[in-house]
Chain A
């Protein structure tokens, strides 16, 4: 019986890795078709994706701008919201938090359609900055959760000690609250970064073919069939995800960020 558990976990991991491995393997194909296992293996497709084919290099640039911009903006929106919720716990702050997380909690296609209409009325449809704002709004629920976890982890004694020693509220914020919540803020930033990098459906409606991110470019190319260069994009994205989450795990407490009990080690 003791072997059944690890076997089941290994089976799940295998199944989870299977399509990823296939996509990664397909990136090595020498020809223009996607075969698995790859035929005439080559690394030439990596050069096409990162250097020589403007369609892909431009899409990659757009993806980076949108992801970094959205992650920064999402954190900037989530921070005051989480702070308000933590410091006041008022009905208004709870309502705002609920409304702020609503885009993430409904089918993304509905929010995508709504944002498409929104930007067409307010002049941002097809503009890169509108894509940044759209992703920030869609994903701000994530930093809101991580920052709130960080705020809740602050020891009350630290605040009391600061107050006893005459620290003003702004000094307490700068010297006690902010430093203790930085890892959680960075985690939230990375969560948005990775998810924005891979998000497709909302970007599809707000870009209105004005520009393409990598996932959009792949989707647009699907009509003409898969090419190994698309698979390079997938490898890049997976590599970014693994690097980012490994960093979060290395410098933060990933199980706790995911909701595990602190005492349960």
Chain B
């Protein structure tokens, strides 16, 4: 889904009768700039992914599939097989799927309520949402890190308010320990998948609101009112009128957030256990981190990009299929 798809250029749109004479020159100049800056970087990643790392030095141009082999089955294949990098890709998918679903499911009722407010109140809410949306991942992770850290924040609050003791008395503490959310003495959120997914869904929650807002604000309210007049309850109206009407934007939003979250780096580094790190962390490690193996990092980036592309294409197919039915 691209910006171009959102742009209406139908015959009813106001346009000048004839374009400027400079339009042709403009087109060529723009094509050159966009191909150079938007396409060439992706091509470079693709080409370098076939390069070869020289031990103790940098890398050289080549055409080897070793990097891809290493990603899928390890370097010692067929004598030995390792799925470490596939596992990392699996974690990327796991975090991204759960966090995007969580964000969309919780943002949907919020956005629906937002669209029913007056235009002025909507603008005030949007300022708040946009401000939190623009906040860097680094700041968000910092905030949640303080909130979830073992010596302060929520664990300390749980202890001081007696909630930890209550959890122990009622047996829920053992459940939290089984889930990896408590140590023998107190609840703990770092490191855990819970903290990782919570932060990631927080990261994209404002995006979910902003992406759902146009579709929900253009909903025909008369249909919901008609259903209510005919005796349908709130849940029935949501299930039979609202959800079918926004099925496409809902699905598109989830997909976009999913693709965005595939590249999350700081939240995973801080909140996930090293054994549960994602492909984005591995890419960083190879390009700028300890490993310094640019071709392998590029191969991982290509696989991440292809995975995202496949998911988007699959989503598009499912949508088309659902529309046809």
Contact = CB atoms under 8 A, between A and B. Distances in A.
Interface of A: 1, 5-6, 8-9, 12-13, 15-20, 22-23, 26, 34-36, 77, 80-81, 84-89, 92-111, 113-118, 121, 133, 137, 141, 144-145, 148, 151-152, 154-156, 158-159, 163, 169-170, 172-173, 177, 194-195, 197-201, 204-205, 208, 215, 218-219, 222, 226, 230-231, 233-234, 237-238, 241-242, 245-246, 249, 254-255, 258-261, 264-265
Interface stretch (B64-72, B75-83, B124-132, B161-169): B124-132
A122 to B, nearest CB: 9
A117 B127 contact: no
Given A195-B134, A226-B142, A237-B135, A87 B16 contact: yes
Contacts, number: 299
Interface stretch (B107-115, B184-192, B238-246): B107-115
Interface in B279-319: 280, 283-284, 287-288, 294, 297-298, 301, 304-305, 308
B320 interface: no
Nearest to A93: B27
A114 B42 contact: yes
Contact of A152 (B13, B41, B143, B304): B13
Given A8-B113, A109-B301, A141-B3, A245 B131 contact: yes
Contacts of B232: none
A198 B134 contact: yes
Contacts of B142: 19, 23, 218, 222, 226, 230-231, 234
A136 to B, nearest CB: 8
A260 B131 contact: no
A104 B37 CA distance: 13
A92 B139 contact: no
A259 B110 contact: no
B114 A145 contact: no
Chain A interface mostly: helix
A26 B143 CA distance: 9
Q: Which of B18, B35, B45, B114 counts the most A-chain CB atoms under 10 A from its CB?
A: B45
Q: Which 10 A-B pairs have the closest CB atoms?
A: A19-B143, A259-B214, A107-B263, A114-B41, A101-B3, A198-B136, A89-B9, A97-B4, A260-B217, A156-B14
Interface of B is mostly: helix
A206 to B, nearest CB: 10
Given A98-B4, A241-B134, A200 B266 contact: yes
A141 B5 CA distance: 12
A249 B297 contact: no
B26 interface: yes
A106 B308 contact: yes
A246 B131 CA distance: 9
Given A9-B110, A121-B44, A137-B38, 4 more contacts: A222-B138, A241-B134, A254-B126, A255-B126
Contact of B126 (A23, A100, A245): A245
28 contacts: A5-B113, A19-B202, A22-B143, A23-B146, A26-B146, A80-B29, A89-B15, A92-B27, A92-B31, A97-B2, A98-B4, A101-B2, A102-B2, A102-B39, A107-B263, A107-B308, A109-B284, A109-B301, A113-B297, A141-B3, A194-B130, A200-B138, A234-B143, A237-B134, A237-B139, A241-B130, A241-B135, A246-B127
Interface in B33-57: 33-35, 37-42, 44-45, 48
A13 B128 contact: yes
B17 A163 contact: yes
A80 B26 contact: yes
A104 B288 CA distance: 22
A235 to B, nearest CB: 10
Interface of B: 1-9, 13-20, 23, 26-27, 29-31, 33-35, 37-42, 44-45, 48, 106, 109-110, 113-115, 118-119, 122-124, 126-132, 134-140, 142-147, 152-153, 202, 205-206, 210, 213-215, 217-218, 234, 256, 259-260, 262-263, 265-266, 270, 280, 283-284, 287-288, 294, 297-298, 301, 304-305, 308
B44 A118 contact: yes
A117 B302 CA distance: 14
Given A16-B206, A94-B4, A107 B280 contact: yes
A117 B8 CA distance: 35
Contacts of A22: 143, 146-147, 153
Nearest to B287: A113
B23 A88 contact: yes
Contact of B259 (A93, A107, A241): A107
Contacts of B29: 80
A261 B40 CA distance: 38
Contacts of A242: 127, 131
Nearest to A196: B134
Given A1-B234, A105-B2, A260-B213, A198 B45 contact: no
